[in-house]
């Protein structure tokens, strides 16, 4: 990528103005620390650094290629940027390595990135034929092809139910097992063909048959829910008084966990019949959003990947409990 590359043409960050609006109040102090747990190609980070001249960024990403692009995009802020090649569930350990005890704001943009979707060879898209990979970090771990080859019919069925909410999971699992007995399933095109043939005619107009299966495989390959369930509590714990945590989720499993976690930290732990709430039972955070915020119709039309987004945010209002 050369210096003339227009980064906004290859990556349009979702709800970027709203994210800046939410984190900026916590990033006005000298040397304020902003953590982007999913740096990607740096679209949100660029907007935050531009709007908050006192802020310093620590950007996490498991994808080395994304980090390289983000560094180029953020070159004008290089003295305020530090990148970390790691999954965000290593949040606390990596901050410890950097000598950082507390942060002022943190942002997570969950799911697969534009870079990963748009590069056919990564195997994330069911619209292009490519090796069945789906690893966000291509230097390690199992691939989607490994799962398709090794999981039993029952395990595939459970995977598609759990991470894809796929109602045709039994039919798809059975078709995959039958097909792999004939020849190995190594490409996205092969898998899509199997799923299309296994889809009843009456269901073929109800969205692409591979959508939920690909989602389930991607989540399992990258341990996405496990990482989120570990990372979000770590982020909340490291957020200083007045600090903010903002999350964008794109599928229901992620959003349900974010909603539940934010509810737990913004509600009092006191029994309902107490006449007053002791300080140690007061919530540590308050909600900054009413429910989940969505992209406008106008943004979703310009950037279709914004359509499923659910944004939630909280602010720390009490110091951490000992």
List residues forming the annotated binding site for S-adenosyl-L-methionine. 42-44, 61, 88, 109, 116
Token pair recorded at residue 46 = 């660029």
d(CA 42, CA 113): 11
- Residue among 254, 238, 263 at smallest CA distance from 320: 238
Task: Please give the helix or strand (H or E) that residue 116 lies within, else none.
Answer: helix 114-118
For residue 15, give the 3-state DSSP assignment.
coil
Instruction: Look up tokens 């990482």; give the residue.
Output: 227
Q: Rounded CA gap, 228 and 202, in Å?
A: 36
Q: Are 309 and 44 in contact (CB under 8 A)?
A: no
Per-residue exposure over 68-90, b if at least 16 CB sit within 10 Å of its own CB, e if not: ebbeebbeebeebbebbbbbbbb
Q: 160: closest CA among 177, 172, 150, 147?
A: 172
**Structure tokens given for 223:** 């341990």
Distance CA(175)–CA(170), nearest Å, equals 9
Task: Tell how strand 103-109 and strand 239-249 pair up.
Answer: parallel
Which residue from 51, 55, 100, 101 is spatially nearest to 81, judged by alpha carbons? 55
Give, as one character, the DSSP assignment of residue 111.
S
* Cα gap 245→106, rounded to integer Å: 5
Which are the contacts of 308, defined by CB distance < 8 A and separation ≥ 6? 250, 251
């Amino acid at each position: 990528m050369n210096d003339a590359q227009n980064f906004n043409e290859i990556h349009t960050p979702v709800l970027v103005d709203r994210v800046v609006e939410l984190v900026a109040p916590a990033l006005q102090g000298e040397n304020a620390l902003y953590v982007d747990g999913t740096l990607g190609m740096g679209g949100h980070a660029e907007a935050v650094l531009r709007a908050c001249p006192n802020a310093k960024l620590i950007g996490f990403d498991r994808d080395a290629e994304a980090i390289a692009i983000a560094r180029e995009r953020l070159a004008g802020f290089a003295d305020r940027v530090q990148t970390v090649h790691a999954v965000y569930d290593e949040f606390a350990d990596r901050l410890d390595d950097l000598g950082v005890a507390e942060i002022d704001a943190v942002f997570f943009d969950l799911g697969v990135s534009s870079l990963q979707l748009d590069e056919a060879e990564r195997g994330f898209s069911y619209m292009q034929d490519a090796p069945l990979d789906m690893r966000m970090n291509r230097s390690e771990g199992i691939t989607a092809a490994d799962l398709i080859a090794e999981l039993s019919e029952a395990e595939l069925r459970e995977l598609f139910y759990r991470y894809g909410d796929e109602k045709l999971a039994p039919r798809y699992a059975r078709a995959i097992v039958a097909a792999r007995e004939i020849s190995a399933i190594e490409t996205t095109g092969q898998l899509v063909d199997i799923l299309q043939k296994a889809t009843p005619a009456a269901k073929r107009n109800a969205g692409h048959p591979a959508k939920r299966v690909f989602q389930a495989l991607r989540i399992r390959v990258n341990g996405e829910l496990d990482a989120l369930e570990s990372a979000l509590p770590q982020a909340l714990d490291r957020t200083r008084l007045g600090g903010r945590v903002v999350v964008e989720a794109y599928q229901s499993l992620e959003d349900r966990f974010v909603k539940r976690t934010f509810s737990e930290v913004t509600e009092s732990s006191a029994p309902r019949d107490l006449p007053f709430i002791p300080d140690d039972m007061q919530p540590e955070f308050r909600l900054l959003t009413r429910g989940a915020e969505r992209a406008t119709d106008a943004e979703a039309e310009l950037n279709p990947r914004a359509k499923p987004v659910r944004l939630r945010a909280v602010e720390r209002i009490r110091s951490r409990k000992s």
